[in-house]
Amino acid sequence: MKRSIIVGNWKMYATSIADAHILTTSIRNHVADIKDVEIILAPPTIWLSEIAQILKQSRKTRLAAQNMFYEPDGAYTGEISPLMIKEVADYVILGHSERREYFSETDLEVNEKVVAAIKAGITPIICVGEKTKGSTIGQPLKELQEALAGISKTHHKDILVAYEPIWAIGTGKNADPAYVAKVVTKLREVVSVHTPILYGGSVNSSNIASYADRPEIDGVLVGGASVRAAEFVKICKIWSETKSLQPRAKEVK
């Protein structure tokens, strides 16, 4: 069966340990019975250890870091290594447009981080997306190709891709699901059938069903709506219910 994945990117929200605690506990308690969807929470790195403890008994919910450095160790003040992330999380978001824009991350750095994540046994969630609505899909395609430079096809099952058009992030202007399906199909040519490809950009409980309806889309990366527990749980439930109404996708070979 194809995987279904929902990632909650908390960004730099949940600014106190108490808030992070309440949000995690509430999500954990309410997603336990949701079927056939993997849920990944990406809180600020400083809360990862604490949240890992809260999720210890939960088989449903996994953790992701929102970023990491590519060197395993060394004199890099303020950075966090793949080996450190590996202690507390299974996934890491890489190349998010906010990192590219505010921290000048280049395609080359994203590639170095992807290589380092795979080497450390962490699944990278590679974010790609174009800046302007209506532009060609050249930019996400190029970003994905560059992020995967030098990575053998055998590792494509060890990565996730998130198509996140920048104009749709945090704007309330989510991309048309038919258009997303088209881009996903194009991105799929670069990766393998085993690579889940998600959509991200202003996803909420009102529009989630329209993405779940598309067999090409394997999940979503939720930003703003993921720090509201009830809304995030609703998104996960609607995704699961909508997918359950579709003919089961066959096991991919």
Among residues 44, 36, 34, the alpha carbon closest in space to that of 8 is found at 44
105 is catalytic: no
Instruction: Give the total residue count for the chain.
Output: 253
| Residue 200 contacts ligand PGA per CB under 6 A | yes
Residue 10 assigned ligand-binding role: yes
Q: Which x/- pattern over 170-189 shows residues binding ligand PGA (rule: CB under 6 A)?
A: x-------------------
Residue with tokens 């393998």: 192
Residue 129 assigned ligand-binding role: no
| Residue 223 contacts ligand PGA per CB under 6 A | yes
Per the structure block, which two tokens stand in for 123?
């699944």
Minimal distance in Å, beta carbon 163 to ligand PGA? Answer: 11
| Residue 95 contacts ligand PGA per CB under 6 A | no
Interatomic CA distance for residues 211 and 179, integer angstroms: 11
> Which of 222, 233, 236, 238 lies at the binding interface for ligand PGA (CB under 6 A)?
222
Among residues 173 and 248, whose Cβ is nearest to ligand PGA? 173
Question: Is the dihedral angle over the CA atoms 184, 187, 188, 194 positive or is it negative?
Answer: negative
> Which of 63, 94, 221, 227 lies at the binding interface for ligand PGA (CB under 6 A)?
221
Count residues binding ligand PGA (CB under 6 A).
Answer: 13
Interatomic CA distance for residues 97 and 166, integer angstroms: 7
Selecting among 130, 164, 241, 251, the annotated active-site residue is: 164
**What's the DSSP call for residue 154?**
G
Span interacting with ligand PGA, options 163-171, 208-216, 228-236, 244-252, rule CB under 6 A: 163-171
Interatomic CA distance for residues 66 and 149, integer angstroms: 21
What residues contact residue 161 under an 8 Å CB cut-off, 6+ apart?
125, 126, 128, 144, 187, 191, 195, 196, 197, 198
Selecting among 96, 98, 105, 109, the annotated active-site residue is: 96
156 is catalytic: no
The torsion region of residue 2 among left (phi > 0), alpha (psi -120 to 50) and beta comes to beta
Catalytic residues: 96, 164
The residues that touch ligand PGA, with contacts defined as CB under 6 A, are 9, 164, 169-170, 200-203, 221-225
Binding residue numbers for substrate:
9-11, 170, 202, 223-224
